[in-house]
Chain A
Amino acid sequence: DIQMTQSPSTLSASVGDRVTITCRASQTISSWLAWYQQKPGKAPKLLIYKTSTLESGVPSRFSGSGSGTEFTLTISSLQPDDFATYFCQQYNSYWTFGQGTKVEIK
């Protein structure tokens, strides 16, 4: 089974900050990686798929990069609506989620 490890688990940041979340796979997953955003009490929402393709309607301040085993989600200028938990997911071999990164207000 492919394991996904996200870091950090929690991130404290301010509005306007540039934020980067890392996701590492235990083996290569090519570019088959997605990112989801989840707010408290709500369902996850797709942000990015195939490592760097932005889902329709997602603000351009979100971007994704990487390949193989190391991937990043970047928020270029954190907005109040972005305080949430972010999960990565590999879909190269079945499906595995990272443990999540909570982005909280500093």
Chain B
Amino acid sequence: EVQLVESGGGLVQPGGSLRLSCSASGFTFSTYAMHWVRQAPGKGLEYVSAISSNGGSTYYADSVKGRFTISRDNSKNTLYLQMSSLRAEDTAVYYCVKTSGSRLLGYFFDFWGQGTLVTVSS
């Protein structure tokens, strides 16, 4: 059974940093590209970042480029999102998402974690 368990969310002040983790199980983590998608309270889904199966390719939405860094440790079956210079508008539930393929582009999202809430407020 595929499982994605996010952790690391919480309350952080504007300008602060936070690192999210996503522990994966039930599938061969190293063979799939992974993504982060967020959802502000009561809002729709917003794409955040992607990483290929071997970590060699990454992609960021313009809204987070230069502030967030996606990475993965295939030996630990774990996906990360390092977030810095956080703003109030980054407040959202952050979902870890598995795709249906190994490369960065051309695949849909076939499994989502339950999400972790990040609140940016003073």
A99 on interface, CB distance cutoff 8 Å: yes
Measured between beta carbons, the chain A residues less than 8 angstroms from B35 are 95
- Bound Cα distance from A100 to B105, whole angstroms: 23
Contact present for A94 and B47 (CB under 8 Å): yes
A43 touches B113 (CB 8 A): yes
A55 within 8 A of B: yes
Q: A83 contacts the other chain (Cβ, under 8 Å)?
A: no
Chain A residues whose C-beta falls within 8 Å of the C-beta of B115 in the assembled complex: 43
| Residues of the A chain whose Cβ atoms lie less than 8 Å from the Cβ of B50 | 95
- With A34-B109, A55-B110, A89-B109 already in contact, the answer to whether A44 and B47 are too (CB < 8 A) is no
Total A-B contacts with CB atoms under 8 angstroms apart:
53
Please report the total number of B residues contacting A with Cβ < 8 Å.
20
Proximity bits, A37-59, B CB within 8 Å = 1, else 0: 00000111110011000010000
State which residues 89-122 of B face A: CB under 8 Å: 95, 100, 105-115
Contacting pair B44 A89 (CB below 8 A): no
The answer to whether the Cβ of A71 comes within 8 Å of any Cβ in the partner chain is no
Q: Is the CB of B44 within 8 A of A97?
A: yes
- Asked if A100 contacts B109 (CB within 8 A), the reply is no
What is the minimal beta-carbon distance from B52 to any residue of chain A, in angstroms? 13
With A and B bound together, what is the CA distance between A44 and B111 in angstroms?
8
- If A32-B108, A43-B115, A96-B47 are given as contacts, then 16 extra A-B residue pairs at C-beta distance below 8 Å, sorted by A number, are A34-B109, A43-B112, A43-B113, A44-B45, A44-B112, A46-B110, A55-B110, A87-B44, A87-B45, A89-B109, A91-B105, A94-B105, A95-B50, A95-B109, A97-B46, A100-B44
B binding-site residues for A, Cβ under 8 Å? 35, 44-47, 50, 59, 95, 100, 105-115
